[in-house]
Amino acid sequence: MAHIVVLGAGTGGMPAAYELREILGDGHDITVINERDYFQFVPSNPWLAVGWRKRADITFDIDRYLSRKNIKFIAGRCSRLDPDNSTLELENGQTINYDYLMVTTGPKLFFDEVPGAGPHGGHTHSVCTVDHAELLWADYQKLLDKGSGHIVVGAMPFASCFGPAYEFAFIVDSDLRKRKIRHKFKMTYVSSEPYIGHLGLAGVGDSRGMLEHELRNHHIDWIVNARTTRVEAGKLFVDELAEDKQVKKQHEIAFDLAMMLPAFKGVDAVAGVEGLCNPRGFVIVDELHRSPRWKNIYSAGVCIAIPPVDATPVPTGAPKTGYMIESMVTSAVHNIADELAGKEPHTTGTWNTICLADFGDTGAAFVALPQLPPRNVAWFKKGKWVHMAKIAFEKYFIRKMKKGSSEPFYEKSILKMMGITRI
């Protein structure tokens, strides 16, 4: 009997645990370790930040649901990984042995990249966690009470996840319109992307044309190639770069509320292992999602190393989106199962991407097959149906994670008909 440990119970780790149990049956032990005892549905955080959701709507107790599938859960932060001895240490001093480790630790939110940034001791907000979204909601309410101001939304240098920045800008715009006070607020989108709609993906379909059009239509100004250098209370300092990386213009942007997505790095426990990660702490994996150096370590999700899609004047990274992460997970799980069955692992993920971006009352959907160009399919479509679909997806994913099923047969069949598969 082998012991498989899944480190991190987020969008990647939860499905990984369920898929492992499904494919392996009850013949092996599975343990999930997560620093918090609750699961959070990260894509709903922008809604929580404007009061459209409460914490209880988008979080649930992990142990209650994993235990139903005979999966052990430990709530605790891993402080050290020792791959040579196949052990990991928790902050409380507990040592856990594993035969196989699946690293799904997501990102370290690296606010320190820009002095003065971040919600803890800095001057910018984030929607990356439920806690951050709640802090933003508190300050957004204060701004609503004030009745007017300048709202800055965007992404810092080295950011890789731009979708939620666009979402938050349009959601705030929509919320202010619903309150009939949009005309009292100035809004500016400030991003390290080289152009609007780049998304860390060198664009998808006509994402550039469509998102520029949307920002104009919603009276949101923008600055791209923006290297935010520091933040002071109520002021963002930005170098706008030209193609040749020279500073084209310097901006001092006074704001009342700023939500700036940070750079991502690998989390300390994983990044600290020499030979496991790239210089920014992301786990190096081969096409099987396995560490080339430690063959019993697999990894999936935001924590893996993938190169940027293109070189941009201000550094940006490639996003890892939900379906792409599930594709990585399914690939890694099949390979662990093969190894346990004494077979050669051979399953690779498609990294296909389907994404629903909510704009408050409408939205944009994109499909990129595969996520990284050159692509076989790339389309980007806008419509009210996307807003409805995103709400439905939220309910669907949370239900899936409570029921313990990663890819129900109907999901698999429908997506297969559309030519979208995980592996």
Catalytic residues: 161, 355
Per CB under 6 A, which of residues 285..304 are in contact with ligand FAD? 301-303
| Residues between 185 and 244 with contacts to ligand FAD, criterion CB under 6 A | none
Contact 1, 29 (CB under 8 A): yes
Q: Does 169 bind ligand FAD (CB under 6 A)?
A: no
**Residues in contact with 92: Cβ distance below 8 Å, sequence separation at least 6, in sequence order:** 76
- DSSP assigned state of 272: T
Binding segment (CB under 6 A) for ligand FAD, from list 37-45, 93-101, 114-122, 215-223 = 37-45
Whose Cβ is closer to ligand FAD: residue 83's or residue 106's? Answer: 106
By CB under 6 A, residue 83 contacts ligand FAD: no
Nearest in space to 268 (alpha carbons), one of 3, 4, 14, 91: 91
Residue 74 contacts ligand FAD per CB under 6 A: no
Verify binding: residue 375, ligand FAD, rule CB under 6 A: no
276 binds ligand FAD, rule: CB under 6 A? no
Among 71, 314, 325, 368, binds ligand FAD (CB under 6 A): 325
Pattern 43-62, ligand FAD, x by CB under 6 A: x-x-----------------
Pick between residue 42 and residue 241 the one whose CB is nearest to ligand FAD: 42
Stretch that binds ligand FAD, among 35-43, 148-156, 250-258, 399-407 (CB under 6 A): 35-43
* Segment lying near ligand FAD (by CB under 6 A), choices 34-42, 334-342, 368-376, 396-404: 34-42
Near ligand FAD by CB under 6 A: residue from 71, 103, 159, 161:
161
Binding letters toward ligand FAD, positions 100-119, x by CB under 6 A: ----xxx-------------
* 290: β partners: 298
Separation of alpha carbons 225 and 202, rounded Å: 13
Verify binding: residue 306, ligand FAD, rule CB under 6 A: no
Q: Which two tokens stand for residue 288?
A: 């099987």
Question: In the complex, what is the shortest distance from the CB of residue 12 to ligand FAD, in angstroms, rounded to a whole number?
Answer: 3
d(CA 374, CA 203): 11
CB of 423 to ligand FAD, least distance (A): 18
Q: Which residue, chain included where needed, has tokens 């692992």?
A: 345
Site string for ligand FAD, 236-275 (x = CB under 6 A): -------------------------------x-x------
- Return the bridge partners of 33, or none: 7, 74
Q: What are phi and psi of 218, to 5 degrees?
A: -100, 15
Measured CA to CA, the distance from residue 168 to residue 215 in angstroms comes to 12
Residue 411 C-beta: closest distance to ligand FAD, Å: 14
Residue nearest to ligand FAD (CB): 10
DSSP, residue by residue, 10-53: STTHHHHHHHHHHHHGGGSEEEEEESSSEEE-GGGHHHHTTTSS
Of the candidates 107, 106, 128, 149, the one whose C-alpha atom is nearest the C-alpha of residue 12 is: 106
The CB-of-50 to ligand FAD minimum distance in angstroms stands at: 13
> Using CA atoms, how far apart are residues 122 and 233, in angstroms rounded to an integer?
8
Phi and psi angles of residue 188, each rounded to the nearest 5 degrees, phi first: -135, 135
Q: Is residue 81 within 8 Å of 283, Cβ to Cβ?
A: no
Near ligand FAD by CB under 6 A, which window of 2-10, 135-143, 180-188, 249-257?
Answer: 2-10
* Dist CA 371 CA 349 (whole Å): 11
Binding mask 342-361 for ligand FAD (x = CB under 6 A): -------------x------
401 binds ligand FAD (CB under 6 A): no
Question: Cα(207)–Cα(387) distance, rounded to whole angstroms?
Answer: 17
Q: How far is the CB of 180 from ligand FAD (least distance, A)?
A: 27
Cβ-Cβ contacts under 8 Å for 395 (sequence gap 6 or more): none
Q: Which is nearer to ligand FAD, 66 or 267 (CB)?
A: 267
Burial (CB < 10 A; 0-12, 13-18, 19+), residue 37, is: middle
The helix/strand/coil state of 317 is coil
Q: Which tokens is 51 given?
A: 């009061």
- Residues in contact with ligand FAD by the rule CB under 6 A: 7-13, 33-36, 42-43, 45, 77-78, 104-106, 127-128, 161, 163-164, 267, 269, 301-303, 321-322, 325, 355
